[in-house]
Amino acid sequence: MNPRKRFAPLAAGALLVLMGLLAAGAAWRESVTYDEVVNVGAGVSYWQRLDMRLSEEHPPLARVIAAFPLILRGVRADYSNIAWTVSDRLFPVYAGQLYFGELVLKHWNNPRTTLALARLPMLVLTLLLGCMVYLYSRTIGGPWGALLSTTVYAATPLFLGNGALVVTDVPVAAFSVLTLFTAASLWRSPGSTRGVLFGLSLAGALLAKFSAIFLVVALAVFVLSLWLRPLRESPPNAQAPRFRATLLGVLFALAVAWTFYLVFSWNQSTSVLCDLNSGPIVRRLLMPPWLYLRGLFLLVLSLSRPTYLLGHSYPQGVWFYFPVLLWLKSPLGFLGLLIVGTTAVFWYGAGTIPVTAQAHWRVLWIAMVVFVAVCLSSTLDIGFRHFSVPLVLLILMLAPLPRMVANLRLSAPKAARTLAIVIVVCAAQCLVTALAAYPFYLTYANAFGSFWPHYELFNDSNLDWDQSLPEVERFVKQHGIKSIGIDHYGYTDAAASVPQSHNWNCESPVAEAGQWVAVSANLITQERNCRWLLQYPYETLGGGSMYLVRLPKTILPRKAVQAGFMTTSAGGDARELFIDFIRDPAVVERSAVDADHTLAQWSAQLLRNRPWLQRQVPRWLRDCALIGK
């Protein structure tokens, strides 16, 4: 092989190795994040019990993958614990799954080893996505285009920070890219092997996250576009086999997804389908579509949440949320490449895309438009991580740039040389950002975000996801602090990571006068009003995700709030209730009884607002029991 041709794949491989080291190192320094508590426990139960009662609002594939090394290692879980037994009811499971995950991660097994093993497959999947980025971009942009896209991907803070976490955002991006590539390859050259690969890829995406349903929309638009405007390489009489192969691939994907759900729900009770008056075999066969649709239904009910952006709170998501975060949380080099790439595409169009890659390019930009439209219309704006699919598609669309520069040399060599320098500088800046931001990728903001504290810019998993508790522990040890109050952003027991800590509420601070306290950056202006703490000397930890303050000996009393973040209806701290679950398991059962009453009230309100659910909701939500029993 020509040494120049060998350089691109070797350099891309080295970049992915660097990415793996950076992502692994960052994850090793972080405590379990908010969603991982549920995801790890649910994945373990799927394998050990073949029962998917936990966390139905997300498909199971990412949890199953993450839990696989734990199963091989012999992870322990007590299924006689009330956290599991109470979770067979729809509403109590929201508390039970948190409790069960906490026990699996921190009490029944070694916390550090368990979390590391669960994150390992996620890291591998992130690197495989990097390989897929190289392969896809090489198809549409040649080896130098592949190297450019791989460089940007390997240096993107979103993938470095979230890639090793046990969440669904990077897995759905990986399977989405694979689905688009195999769909285009199937269309270009229909065949049984390509059909199977396409079906498996689409099934993986559908099993990774419910938002992958929009992949089907993108594929439908892609097929329609090919019918209205066929590719140059595709003769008119060859369209029918391609349509047929694509349809068979989709049907195969649905069959794979059905089988996956059937296997991992094999021991789950089918009593929820008892009103069908059918036998156990029929109910068992209907459980996979029922579980998928019920999970989708539960997700839809929670799609609208308050959000925070640039110092303002909003009652629900806003259309400019992801564009603003793209501007603030992307390396400046990537933003520069997007500007250069957009200009070049408008100037050259798709003229530099090889004829053999026209299908790959078309399905890529169609999917990008579909997913960007979905993100802009979303009312659930709680993290830039939800932009993972459009982001990786944007990175792929940079691949034709080097070939455009090469073509420009023939007509304007000076302009081509200048443009090539700009591209190299932008790519280098991305790499510098990846190194400079280590290990605090979750909280990363570029130079445009350096003019304000991060807690004024964005919210939730963009800032603090409970990942910085080890940073607090290091600070406590370095300063010899014997007791510290923590107002953290999560339900879990912070004492598992910081033994010297106890729960604390910044809005009731008198008891901690003269002591050190740590508060989540999310609580300073967003979920609570902890801004008053910043009048005292403070230090930031975890890239700005946690603030440590030494309180004065005298603090004016503050009235405790009766509602807000982690506040119960009685004005108490919900985190204390969660810790009581561990100390006194009977609390779970009492909470379950209260949850049944709450469920009855919630169902009645739901029916008043949505009369068309009069028939379904009482059956779906009560699992064949009477509302209000």
pLDDT in tens, 391-449: 999 999 999 999 999 888 888 888 889 999 999 999 999 999 999 999 999 999 999 99
Tokens of 526: 């967003």
pLDDT greater than 80 at residue 555: no
CA separation (Å) from 424 to 279, 309, 336, 337, 482?
A: 65, 33, 11, 10, 51
Tokens of 421: 């320098």
pLDDT greater than 90 at residue 567: no
Q: How far apart are CA 359 and CA 36, in angstroms?
A: 37
Tokens of 207: 């099993």
pLDDT greater than 90 at residue 251: yes
- Angle at CA 330, nearest 5°, toward 176 and 475? 110
Q: Are the beta carbons of 40 and 115 closer than 8 angstroms?
A: yes
Q: Are the beta carbons of 338 and 149 closer than 8 angstroms?
A: no
pLDDT per position as a tens digit, 458-508? 989 999 999 999 999 999 999 999 999 898 888 778 888 899 988 888 877
Q: Tell me the β-bridge partners of 518.
A: 486, 548
pLDDT greater than 70 at residue 18: yes
Under the banding of pLDDT at 50, 70 and 90, the label for residue 558 is low
pLDDT per position as a tens digit, 326-367? 999 999 999 999 999 888 777 766 567 888 899 999 999 999
Nearest to 153 by CA among 166, 137, 169, 168: 137
Burial string for 382-414 (b: 16+ CB within 10 Å, else e) reads bbbbbbbbbbbbbbbbbbbbbbbbeebeeeeee
pLDDT greater than 60 at residue 509: yes
Please tell me the chain's helix, strand, coil percentages from 3-state DSSP, rounded to the nearest 5.
65, 5, 30
Specify the DSSP class assigned to residue 231.
Answer: -
Higher model confidence: residue 549 or residue 573?
A: 549
pLDDT attached to residue 564: 58
Residue appearing with tokens 């290091």: 474
pLDDT attached to residue 570: 59
Percent with pLDDT over 90 in the chain = 58
Cα-Cα-Cα-Cα torsion 601, 606, 612, 618, nearest 10 degrees, comes to: -40
Q: How far apart are CA 224 and CA 338, in angstroms?
A: 28
| Listed ranges 60-64, 313-317, 573-577; the one with the highest mean pLDDT | 60-64
Nearest to 149 by CA among 427, 399, 434: 399
Please, which residues have CB within 8 angstroms of residue 201's CB and are 6 or more apart in sequence?
Answer: 175, 178, 179, 181, 182, 183, 253
pLDDT greater than 70 at residue 585: no
Q: How far apart are CA 65 and CA 123, in angstroms?
A: 11
pLDDT attached to residue 596: 53
Q: Are the beta carbons of 78 and 103 closer than 8 angstroms?
A: yes
pLDDT greater than 80 at residue 312: yes
pLDDT attached to residue 272: 78
Residue appearing with tokens 């003019």: 451
pLDDT attached to residue 627: 34
CA separation (Å) from 203 to 59, 199, 368?
A: 11, 6, 19
Nearest to 111 by CA among 493, 462, 487, 464: 493
Percent with pLDDT over 70 in the chain = 84
Q: How far apart are CA 495 and CA 491, in angstroms?
A: 12
Nearest to 470 by CA among 551, 565, 543: 543
Mean pLDDT score across all residues of the chain: 86
pTM for the structure as a whole: 0.91
